[in-house]
Amino acid sequence: MAAASTAPVALVTGGAGGIGRATARAFAQRGYRVAVADIDGAAAQAVAESLRSEGHAAESITVDIGDRDAVVAMLDGLRARYGRLDAAFNNAGASSLRVPLADLDEADWERVLRTNLTGTFLCMKYEIRWMLEQGHGCIVNNCSVFGIGGSISATYTASKHGIAGLTRSAAISYARCGVRINAVCPGLIDAGMGARYLERAGETDAASTIALHPAGRAGTAEEVADAVLWLCSEESRYVHGHLLAVDGGYGAR
């Protein structure tokens, strides 16, 4: 039976990572009941427990978004517990090898596309179906600046351009149905994949990468979370199919 509370519900996939964790907290601080979903169930549980310790309503879900049955089970479970889904941040993603296309290993291609593109598609498909039934909802996908431009990593770039296309196609299809669909496109962020890159890069390479961002620094997970929350708010009610760069000016160069 669905919970009696009328508080809105938000789903965050990849919720145990840096951007996901910050966004789950931002939703919770604005009164949402938050489902923190991640393939790493223990890490998702730790995030949910941290939010509950702060007085927020949160739960964790272990899910592989590349598995259709797992995605359906996740959303069916949320429907049974809450009866509504007001916002979804499809944030889960996999990094890839930084190699050009001709040197790409096919297994890396299949692994990354399964999570980033197929996984995002599956989440969107079943989130949209539910939101159409209830007549409202906001979806934000994590796209990346490489979904607008490009990078040496052929797999990652292709997967993110695919997410950009899914975002715009779905936004066109459902704009008149009460369902808004947009994406954030982070640049270098000092959390999650970005933080791991900076750790591996070394001082010189890290500095040169940061220098590509006119703001002169890496962004924070909280700055991405703020953009997600805005795209899920009434303040952005006329925004559909937008790829919102959160990149310190990287794409304006």
Phi, psi of 61 (to 5 degrees): -135, 135
Report how far residue 9's alpha carbon sits from residue 21's, in angstroms, rounded to the nearest whole number. Answer: 16
The DSSP annotation for the chain comes to ---S--S-EEEEETTTSHHHHHHHHHHHHTT-EEEEEESSHHHHHHHHHHHHHTT--EEEEE--TT-HHHHHHHHHHHHHHHS---EEEE----------GGG--HHHHHHHHIIIIIIHHHHHHHHHHHHHHHT-EEEEEE--GGGTS--S-HHHHHHHHHHHHHHHHHHHHHGGGTEEEEEEEE-SBSSHHHHHHHHHHHHHHHHHHHHTSTTSS-B-HHHHHHHHHHHTSGGGTT--S-EEEESTTGGG-
Known catalytic residues are 156
Pairing between β-strand 87-90 and β-strand 58-62 as defined by DSSP bridges? unpaired
